[in-house]
Structures are given as C-alpha cells and as structure tokens.
Structure 1
C-alpha cells in the first residue's frame, strides 16, 4: 500500500549528476562506498550512487536534455546520478557538518597522486526540498 507523507515528514535530498571516465569507475565506486558509509554513520537516511543505463529513453517525442549532455559526458564516460536523503534541510546541514569534521575526511588521508576519479567541473549538485513523498 502506498501512502503520501504529510508535510511534517518532508525529506531533503542532495542530488548529484557527474561524468566518470570509464577507466576510473572502480576508483569512483570505492570512493563512493566509503562516502556512503560515512554519511549513513553520521545520520543520513539513504545514500545512493547509480550509473547510467538508459541515457536516451524514448519519451514519445517530448523534448528534453539528456543526462550525458547535462554532465558533458563523452563516449569514454559513464554518467553517475547520486543522492543523499535527509529528514530536513536542517538535518542535512547537521549531518554534513559532522561528515566534514570526521577525521576520515582529513586531506592527509587522501593520496594526492590519485586525485579525484572524476572531473569536478562537470559535476552538478543541488539541495532539494521534497514536495511529494511516497513510501512503501
């Protein structure tokens, strides 16, 4: 049975779209796995990383901007769509502050030679307040 959540149960979502070079997918998956564990540890309700599968769906002629175009993905890239779910924007701010204070986020723990497994300039990010929320 589906049920609509009341206004007091609205969620807040941080959403990301980015292009990851295919050769870096394993490194990205490892980084994302560690990040997911960290966000959940500090209170996020859900953490999802998903790779593009149906990037040019047939929408019966409806014009739209495909994700690969949005992420400026090339033929050797995979589009990643990810999101983190929180109770509210305030909860998001609290969780993100805890994540940023966590010693695991200390730059000394990162290998500078490896760098990020994706081009940060092609990442799109935003915070979204839910207006409709169904749960099973």
Structure 2
C-alpha cells in the first residue's frame, strides 16, 4: 500500500498565483524522487468549526486561504529516501523557490493509509 505526506497551510489570498508557481517548481522535485502523485488544493469551502477547524489549525487570517496538499508515494521506504533527497535538493531552497506563505504555520505529517476505495488514476 502507498504512503502519504499531508500538509495544511495558510496562504495570503493575493499570493495564489505565486503559490501555484512555487508548487509547480517544488512538486516536480518530489515526483523526480519517487512520488506518484501530488495534489495542491485551494480552499473554497472551509467552514468554521465549533471546537477547531482548518483555519484555526494554521492560524489563518482573514486575508488568507487554507491550502490542503498531499504527496503520494508507493511506500514509506520510497518516501523516506525521496524526501531526504528532496530536502537536500538546491531547487527547494528558499532562495531558489521562496515560500509565498508563513512556513512557521505549515502543518505536515506522514500517514500510512488504512482504508482505500476507488480506482487508481
């Protein structure tokens, strides 16, 4: 079964195109190192919760949009090797591919799928 890295971040809404450019530059590096799929999803229906929600999780401000992203890998070992290579790749440095959002409020983690429905793309 596959392995997934998930991310949630708050991006200034005016930086949408900058984010797309940033993602296209960085996501291709992950694909080069073994990822099978990368999705970057711009929030358009992110409701406020009573206890917690995506906006609060990343301390999103009124002028920011929540972005939900993930990288799919064939397995955890491919991910571990690929992520290590990607983190050392000069194309992902802040100078080469600056983040158009506050990286201190980025939430991320690695996940082992336990249920999967649907077809493979």
TM-score normalised over the length of structure 1: 0.77
Partner of 2:111: 128
Aligned pairs, how many?
119
1:100 aligns with 2:87: yes
Deviation at 1:68, TM superposition (A): 1.1
Gaps of 5+ in 1: 1-9
The one-character-per-residue Cα deviations of 1:1-58 (angstroms, maximum 9, x if unpaired) are xxxxxxxxx211100000001122211110101111111122101101001111118x
Over aligned residue pairs, what C-alpha RMSD do you find?
A: 2.2
1:110 aligns with 2:96: yes
Which protein shows a greater Rg? 1
C-alpha contact (below 8 Å) 1:11/1:133 kept by paired residues? no
- Between the aligned partners of 2:81 and 2:99, the Cα distance in structure 1 is 25
101 and 23 in structure 1: CA distance in 2 versus 1, 3 angstrom threshold: same
- For the residue of structure 1 that corresponds to 2:26, the secondary structure is helix
Deviation at 1:103, TM superposition (A): 4.1
Gaps of 5+ in 2: none
TM-score normalised over the length of structure 2: 0.85
Deviation at 1:88, TM superposition (A): 1.6
Runs of 4+ in 1 over 6 A off after TM superposition: none
Out of 4, 10, 15, the position equivalent to 1:13 is 4
Q: How do 1:29-108 and structure 2 match up within 5 A?
A: 29-56=20-47, 65-105=52-92
Deviation at 1:66, TM superposition (A): 1.9
27 and 63 in structure 1: CA distance in 2 versus 1, 3 angstrom threshold: same
